[in-house]
Chains A and B, each alone.
Chain A
Amino acid sequence: MTDDEELERRVHDAFKSATAPRAPISIRERVSELPTANMRSGPRFHMTWAVLGAILVVLVVAISRSYLPANTGTVPPQSPEPTAQVSTTPLSSLAESQNAPGAVDLLLPGPLTGNGWKVVANGIGLRRKPTDIPGIAGVQVVAGRELAGLHTILRIPDTTIIDPRTQAALVVDLWAGDGPICGQERFDGVDFDQVGSKITVRYSDAALVTPLPSGTLCALDAREASILVAIDLSHIPTSPVTVAVARFGGGGWADVATVAASFPSPSAKP
Chain B
Amino acid sequence: MNLCALWLVLIGVVDIRIELRNERLSGQGREVGRDWFATLTERDFDRAYRIAGFILGDAHEAEDATQDALSRAWERRHSLRELDRAQAWFDQILVNACRDRLRKRRPVRLIQLSESDGASGRDPFNAILTTDEALRGLAGLDFNHRAVLVLRFWADLPESAIGERLGIPTGTVKSRLHVALRQIRSAMNAGGPT
A interface residue numbers (CB < 8 A to B): 3-4, 7-8, 10-24, 26-28, 30-31, 34-35, 37-40, 43-46, 49, 52-53, 55-56, 59-60, 62-63, 66, 179-180, 219-221
**CB <8 Å contact, A12 and B70:** no
Q: How many of chain B's residues touch chain A, expressed as a range?
A: 35 or more
CB neighbours of B67 from chain A (8 A): 26-27, 30
- For the complex, give the distance between the alpha carbons of A37 and B75 in Å: 10
**CB <8 Å contact, A8 and B16:** no
CB neighbours of B53 from chain A (8 A): 20-21
CB neighbours of B30 from chain A (8 A): 43
- From residue A68, how far is it (CB to closest CB) to chain B in Å? 13
Nearest 8 interchain pairs by C-beta: A23-B49, A23-B45, A15-B154, A14-B134, A56-B12, A14-B132, A43-B23, A21-B124
CB neighbours of A56 from chain B (8 A): 8-9, 12-13, 16
17 A-B pairs besides A18-B128, A180-B16 with CB distance below 8 A are A17-B132, A18-B132, A20-B125, A21-B50, A24-B63, A30-B67, A30-B70, A34-B71, A38-B74, A40-B75, A44-B23, A53-B12, A53-B16, A56-B16, A63-B2, A63-B9, A179-B17
A59 in contact with B134 given A7-B181, A40-B75, A46-B19 (CB within 8 Å): no
CB neighbours of A15 from chain B (8 A): 54, 135, 150, 153-154
Main SS at interface, chain B? helix
- For the complex, give the distance between the alpha carbons of A28 and B44 in Å: 10
Is B190 at the interface (CB under 8 A from chain A)?
no
CB neighbours of B48 from chain A (8 A): 23, 27
B interface residue numbers (CB < 8 A to A): 2, 5-6, 8-9, 12-13, 15-17, 19-20, 23, 26-27, 30, 37, 40, 42, 45-46, 48-50, 53-54, 59, 63, 66-67, 70-71, 74-75, 78, 124-125, 128, 131-135, 149-150, 153-154, 181, 184-185
